[in-house]
Structure 1
Amino acid sequence: MKFGKEFTSQMVPEWEEAYMNYNFLKTILKDILNFRRRRPKPTSSPNPSPRTRKLLKRHFYKAFSGLTNGFGSYNERNNKDEVILVSEIQQDEQPPENRNYETMFFRSSEEGAENEVVFFRRLDDEFNKVVGFYRSKVEEVVMEAEELNTQMDALFALKVKISDPQVQRNHTKMVSLEILNHVKMNVTSESAMSTLKTIFDGTKADLSFNNEELKSAQTKLKQAFVEFHRKLRLLKSYCYLNQLAFAKIMKKYDKVTSRNASKAYLEMIKNSYLSQSDEVVKLIERVESAFITHFANANRRQGMSDLRPKAKRDKHRITFLVGCFVGCSIALVVAVILTIHARDLLRSPGRNQYMTNIFPLYSLFVYIVLHLLMYAANMYFWKRYRVNYAYIFGFKPNTELGYKEILLLSSGLLVLTFAAVLSNLEMEMDERTQSYATLTELVPLGLVTVVLLITICPFNIMYRSSRFFLIVSLWHCVCAPLYKVTFPDFFLGDQLTSQVQLLRTVEFYICYYGWGDFKRRSNTCNQSNIYEMFFIFIAVIPYWFRFLQCMRQVFEQKDYGHGMNGLKYLSTIVAVVTRTIYVQRRGTAMRVIAASSSGVATIYNTYWDMVKDWGLLRKDSNNPWLRDKLILPNKSIYCVAMVMNVILRLAWMQTVLDFHEAPWLHRSTMLFVVASLEIIRRGLWNFFRVENEHLNNVGKFRAFKSVPLPFSYEDGYKEL
């Protein structure tokens, strides 16, 4: 692998702009090389004899001895054939430590040296940028280390306070318990009850000196140390990679120009803050020592394992199983098609009965599989274009699922679904009782039960950490606005808004099996007013969750843009309710109301997708009507995505307006197609939404989670 690609692959994505622009400097070197290749070779002249060269040299220095007097170092540089001189430049308003570096190029008068002057000018800009960024980050981590010191003092004092009196007497000389009189516990919204307590009691609580407080403080500080250690390691890697990049580019310059400039420039880098600063290395050693002592019971192997978790490796068996399941799915699809054709089921009298009652039961699994496939595609392209989705979603390091694992789950569920469909097609109605066998009709319910049991299984199988993460995020959506809204929570809420048909299918499951319709393969759900009422309520739930989340963000962040986002979901609720009432009651007036509300909601949602969530349609952008920064190399993809979003939004509006009747398709099939199109639209939205979030983090150099600390000090007090 070439160094340029390796350099890019090892960058912290959110710090990409702070790294040395290696590729741009390479383009300047290519211009220099191309000019040198085009330049005609100088005509050779007779070489003077050694005696003549000696006389000319003596005559030259004698003639110019008055001008060069006092500048012996310059003569030495000429004698050594030096090309550059790097010096420190300090402006009046800058502190002494914030010096910039400037390179003087001694061969600027040569033909074609303009590109070399530009090269060193940009090289200096890049180096000053790197040094400035590194210095600012070092100052940040030094301040964070001081904060962790005070937190550890409070933790150790709390541990001594809770311990028995003998331990207190032995440790009183080591730590002052006076610090406990000036700290309080930070109460975070980790549950619905704690949120309610926070509303009435404030965000801090007095210490009660119990083991629960100690355990909570230890857990939070352990997470803070792990994240801080990761930040230090990445900062150390940033320093090393940039030094290596400057060394590579200078050696490449020497090779292209046949000069010897790298030695002087690398000597400057060696003496600069970038190389001489050792704060990060010392902090890493101290953090590791403290972590091993206080959080790993002096077990170095365990402590380093927690601080530096092993990188996740791809498993070949996952790829093999994905291939097997995909092959089985294709075989089952062919078997279903052949069974339908052989039995001529499309013309069977029971076709309408099957499509009305059985097809919706199995469509639930197809909705799940399609959503998983779109999510796997998103993860693949996020990884390919270096979108740090793991940080954005807050996944634990090396525990998040990759796109291959998602494909494994989706293909496995697809095999079970098609196998169940094939079994239903093969089972016949009992001629004596004119009713369907109970076992036949229980196949979809059994499959749902299996999926639910796997999802909530407490044992460490089938990606337990990811399943738990999903359940927690879902619980936060259900309990909105009692939980602080994080990116995974509202992202999942938006996914639910695209699965309205799935939620209605769940309601149909309850009705079909709860009321005993499965014994007769009949559908009496629509005859119930309760079912029709919940049919509206179920569709409104996801949008209501998102509205409550937006309201929580308005009151918490004082950002009224979230209020406008909440109005978007309210408009969609109105559209869904009016449309459903129109389908149930009909009438011209209700049709007009449904069409008007649906049109407004569609326009509002489409605008918000492109402008707010994707950050596109910027008139004054460097990329017209897009945005200044784009991850995908082909700009036309963004235009195609916007057009597709509009078209698929219109398909959703057609459902609202009840334009889903087609003579060649059954009503259930049309609903399935439109619902699938909405899932595909959501998959496209997911990629650009996370991309925009990533670019926002890049613009602010945010690459690390903000871990809440357990203690807060009284104003004006800081234990040193």
Structure 2
Amino acid sequence: MKFGKEFKQQKVPEWIEAYMDYNGLKRILHEIKQSKLQEEPQTPSRISQQRLSLYRPFSGLNVRSSSDDESTDDVEDQVIAVETVRQDDTREVYNTNFLMSPRQSEVTFFEKLDEELNKVNTFYRDKVEEVIEEATSINKQMNALIALRIKVEQPDINKCHIQRIISTDSGSIESSNINSPSRYDLSMKLKMGFYFAENRHIDSKSDKHKSDLLDVLDRVKINNTLESPMSTIRSVLNDSKDKELRFKKEELKEAEGRMKVVFIEFYRKLHLLKHYSYVNILAFSKIMKKYEKIAIRRAARSYMKIVDDSYIGSCDEVTLLLDRVEGTFIKYFANSNRREGMKLLRPKRKKEKHRVTFFSGFFSGCSIALLIAAILLIQARKVMSKQEHTMYMENVFPLYSLYAYIILHMLLYAANIYFWKRCRINYPFIFGFKQGTELSYQDVFLVSTGVTVVTLSTFLLHVHMKLDSVHSIYEKYIELIPLILLILLLLIFFCPFNILYKSSRFFLIKSLFHCICAPLYKVSLADFFLADQLTSQIQVMRCLEFYICYYGMRWYQKEQKCHTMDLYNVFYIIAAIIPYWIRFLQCVRRLVEEKDWVHLINGSRYLLTIIAVVFRTVFELKMKKTWKVLALMTSIASIMFNTYWDIVVDWGLLQRKSNNLFLRDKLSVRHTSVYFVVMVLDVMLRLTWLQLILKFNLHYLKGTAISSLFSCLEIFRRGVWMFFRLENEHLNNVGKYRAFKSVPLPFSYYEEEDEEDDKDD
């Protein structure tokens, strides 16, 4: 693989603009090559130069003499001199000057090269300063954690006891006459507690604070991150963000769990910074070798010496912090087991498996064959033309269409993952997936085709047994087949064993639970993204309602149709507004937390949609002219509001003064025509819902078939929306160089906050 492609693949997606512009420099080198070809050769060719070097006097095999000759050649052949200009005490700017007459394209090349070196140096310095600041904060958190651990494990310990152990432990542990195991363990904990703080880059004075170790607990509270319903309720009732320490084991376990996540994320940040430094230095080396090859001038060694002496080449802060973090994490959170500690810090990346590809193809072939078999069975038995089977098929259709909607959504999600990867959109980071557990598009496609095979097989079995059943004694058991399929799939979905993508299933269950409990949970992107997907799955919720009604009436031996029951019709409306109500509550939660009025506007959009859905559903059930007018007015208003929000806010398109007309400055898809197509498509697909009100005469489509078709179109629209919504989120992260999630710290030092407030007053 060429270095250019490898360099592109190794970039952190959110930092792309901060990397050296390797392709831009290659284009300038191409111009140098073209200008050289046009010029008349005034210097010997490369082959002639190599041949002439064979006639030089032999310098011998002496190491000193050969190195002296080499250094002499460097001085004689040197064509550039890099000037270092200091802007302040810490930052330098590099400018390259030529020692001989250059071509204009070469001047452009080195100007661009200096610009890129200054850019990567500035970015790297800023990020290193950020991690050093963060290390200071983590050090304070570790001091509090160690004090809490000692207090929880030994509640009767006091400050004098700790001072006595430290003074006794000033020399060697063996000479301090510590025979008690508990006392020895405590002294080791005190020494380990400041292991992380020994780094010279962390603002700590461990000797000063050792004697006041337990005093830290007097200035510390547990951060209330509002991550559970009870914490949210307590925060509302008590109007307090933080909790007092109670020195319980549950409290210690919670703090240790949070600090473990903080260390893992901090280590990942350091690792990516180190990799950023490595690949950029390698890119400078590669581009200078290309320059020497094309220009036939020796400038690589002198310029690379400047690169190595620059901040990105000489800074060892990140490497030292990596070693400190590894040592601290292994001692504290892995019981000094290096293998286990490093497994947590550096989880293995997910490997693609050939059997996933094989079974995906196998199941997709089986799905097509079973679908054809189902169509042929219905046509051969003339099921739709026989009156005795018409009512039965009307009941069977919603029982199995439930899976069709879900499968279609999964297929669109698989397609989105494929295109996200092609466009280098970092979807695992945006959704917050644990590294190495995110599903690839092959995995999602495998699951969707597997569910398709099971559903179609069950449908064929069910219809065949129903049509051939003679004895009424078996009919009751045949009717239970769709219910058994639903229970089986739910059992697989909630299976607690580590099979069938457990981490992804539980991530989805957790997000779904957060949506149900809105606004009691802090809203993450994955939560409101899932709630937006549920707004396109209204028919799935109505199908679940039909399951309850259908089998409930069967249980009570009633043959009444569900749609003739008032209670069913009430819940038919409620099922449609649940997803929009969830999104409204999520907007309320974000408005309260972030104090951003855009969430109020977004919430009003969902309220308007709820009103439109209610009027539209009531008109569908009662078919009265008054309801038709109300449904039409509210639906048009909702469609206009939602379409504007999709295109302008969620997708970030139609921006004024954009480099791309009617779009935005940054685009992931190369062909701009795609954006115009999806904007028109979004408007058209939203307008299709007016068919349920205006009742156009569509041949061969009646009743359930029309609503099912429009539900599939809405799912398709949501799948398209999904791609461009995540693209916009990714580009916002790129614009802010936001490549890491913010992890809440377990402790807060409230006395320092009070002092700052007093100073402000």
TM-score for both structures, normalised by structure 2: 0.86
Take 1:435 and 1:647, find their aligned partners in 2: how far apart are those partners?
50
| 1:299 Cα deviation after fit | 0.5
Aligned in 2, Cα 1:646/1:523: closer, same or farther, shift over 3 Å? farther
C-alpha contact 2:536 2:715 (8 A) present in aligned 1: yes
2:131 corresponds in structure 1 to 141
Aligned length: 680
SS of residue in 2 equivalent to 1:427: helix
C-alpha contact 1:517 1:524 (8 A) present in aligned 2: no
Q: Deviations over 1:661-683 (max 9, x none)?
A: 63412422222111011001100
C-alpha contact 2:384 2:390 (8 A) present in aligned 1: no
- Equivalence map 1:614-633=2 (5 Å): 614-633=651-670
2:230 to 193, 202, 209: 193
1:330 corresponds in structure 2 to 368
2:711 corresponds in structure 1 to 675
Runs of 4+ aligned structure 1 residues displaced above 4 Å come to 76-79, 165-168, 429-436, 517-520
In the alignment, is residue 384 of structure 1 matched against residue 422 of structure 2? yes
Aligned in 2, Cα 1:708/1:349: closer, same or farther, shift over 3 Å? same
| 1:167 Cα deviation after fit | 7.2
1:83 corresponds in structure 2 to 79
Aligned in 2, Cα 1:159/1:589: closer, same or farther, shift over 3 Å? same
Q: Deviations over 1:100-122 (max 9, x none)?
A: 11111234x45xx1111111111
1:708 to 713, 732, 744: 744
Aligned in 2, Cα 1:104/1:242: closer, same or farther, shift over 3 Å? same
SS of residue in 2 equivalent to 1:413: helix
In the alignment, is residue 214 of structure 1 matched against residue 278 of structure 2? no
| 1:39 Cα deviation after fit | 2.4
1:95 to 42, 65, 88: 88
C-alpha contact 2:383 2:390 (8 A) present in aligned 1: no
1:232 to 258, 266, 270: 270
C-alpha contact 2:553 2:560 (8 A) present in aligned 1: no
2:691 corresponds in structure 1 to 654
- Equivalence map 1:60-71=2 (5 Å): none
Take 1:518 and 1:412, find their aligned partners in 2: how far apart are those partners?
34
Q: Deviations over 1:335-369 (max 9, x none)?
A: 11222232233433245324421111110001110
| 1:96 Cα deviation after fit | 2.0
Deviates more, 1:498-507 or 1:160-169: 160-169
| 1:653 Cα deviation after fit | 3.2
- Equivalence map 1:139-538=2 (5 Å): 139-164=129-154, 169=161, 173=166, 174=190, 175=210, 176-201=213-238, 202-350=240-388, 352-428=390-466, 437-516=475-554, 524-538=561-575
C-alpha contact 1:512 1:523 (8 A) present in aligned 2: no
Take 1:442 and 1:518, find their aligned partners in 2: how far apart are those partners?
14
Which residue identity does 2:91 align to in structure 1? N
Take 1:432 and 1:200, find their aligned partners in 2: how far apart are those partners?
65
Aligned in 2, Cα 1:478/1:717: closer, same or farther, shift over 3 Å? closer
Q: Deviations over 1:314-333 (max 9, x none)?
A: 11111111111111111111
Deviates more, 1:528-537 or 1:81-90: 81-90
Deviates more, 1:288-297 or 1:158-167: 158-167
C-alpha contact 1:578 1:590 (8 A) present in aligned 2: yes
Deviates more, 1:143-152 or 1:331-340: 331-340
SS of residue in 1 equivalent to 2:745: coil
Take 2:348 and 2:576, find their aligned partners in 1: how far apart are those partners?
44
Take 2:253 and 2:323, find their aligned partners in 1: how far apart are those partners?
25
2:175 corresponds in structure 1 to none
C-alpha contact 1:400 1:466 (8 A) present in aligned 2: yes
1:51 corresponds in structure 2 to none
C-alpha contact 1:138 1:279 (8 A) present in aligned 2: yes
1:67 corresponds in structure 2 to none
2:110 to 103, 117, 120: 120
Take 1:155 and 1:384, find their aligned partners in 2: how far apart are those partners?
43
Which residue identity does 1:601 align to in structure 2? S
| 1:193 Cα deviation after fit | 1.2
SS of residue in 2 equivalent to 1:480: coil
Which residue identity does 1:36 align to in structure 2? K
Structure 2: stretches of 5+ with no match in the other structure? 45-71, 167-189, 191-209, 756-761
Take 1:486 and 1:428, find their aligned partners in 2: how far apart are those partners?
47
Take 2:622 and 2:552, find their aligned partners in 1: how far apart are those partners?
26
Take 1:355 and 1:106, find their aligned partners in 2: how far apart are those partners?
87
Structure 1: stretches of 5+ with no match in the other structure? 45-75
Take 1:699 and 1:324, find their aligned partners in 2: how far apart are those partners?
42
Aligned in 2, Cα 1:663/1:271: closer, same or farther, shift over 3 Å? closer
C-alpha contact 1:697 1:703 (8 A) present in aligned 2: yes
SS of residue in 1 equivalent to 2:247: coil
Which residue identity does 2:309 align to in structure 1? N
SS of residue in 2 equivalent to 1:103: strand
Deviates more, 1:443-452 or 1:349-358: 349-358
Q: Deviations over 1:24-51 (max 9, x none)?
A: 111111111112122234599xxxxxxx
Q: Deviations over 1:510-553 (max 9, x none)?
A: 10111118978x66111111111111111011001001111111
Which residue identity does 1:212 align to in structure 2? E
Take 1:337 and 1:517, find their aligned partners in 2: how far apart are those partners?
31
Aligned in 2, Cα 1:187/1:337: closer, same or farther, shift over 3 Å? same
Take 2:667 and 2:75, find their aligned partners in 1: how far apart are those partners?
50
| 1:469 Cα deviation after fit | 1.0
Deviates more, 1:329-338 or 1:257-266: 329-338
1:18 corresponds in structure 2 to 18
Which residue identity does 1:474 align to in structure 2? L
2:586 to 549, 552, 560: 549
SS of residue in 2 equivalent to 1:20: coil
Q: Deviations over 1:157-186 (max 9, x none)?
A: 111112236876468634411111111110
1:604 corresponds in structure 2 to 641
| 1:428 Cα deviation after fit | 3.7
Take 1:428 and 1:561, find their aligned partners in 2: how far apart are those partners?
54
Which residue identity does 1:697 align to in structure 2? N
TM-score for both structures, normalised by structure 1: 0.91
Aligned in 2, Cα 1:624/1:343: closer, same or farther, shift over 3 Å? same
Deviates more, 1:345-354 or 1:94-103: 345-354
Which residue identity does 1:230 align to in structure 2? R
Which residue identity does 1:81 align to in structure 2? D
C-alpha contact 1:480 1:548 (8 A) present in aligned 2: yes
Aligned in 2, Cα 1:141/1:672: closer, same or farther, shift over 3 Å? same
Take 2:413 and 2:468, find their aligned partners in 1: how far apart are those partners?
43
Aligned in 2, Cα 1:229/1:379: closer, same or farther, shift over 3 Å? same
C-alpha contact 1:500 1:538 (8 A) present in aligned 2: yes
C-alpha contact 1:430 1:436 (8 A) present in aligned 2: no
| 1:79 Cα deviation after fit | 6.5
SS of residue in 2 equivalent to 1:407: helix
Take 1:594 and 1:447, find their aligned partners in 2: how far apart are those partners?
37
Take 1:428 and 1:183, find their aligned partners in 2: how far apart are those partners?
69
Take 1:84 and 1:653, find their aligned partners in 2: how far apart are those partners?
70
How many percent identity over aligned positions? 50
Aligned in 2, Cα 1:234/1:502: closer, same or farther, shift over 3 Å? same
Which residue identity does 2:711 align to in structure 1? A
Aligned in 2, Cα 1:495/1:518: closer, same or farther, shift over 3 Å? farther
1:566 corresponds in structure 2 to 603
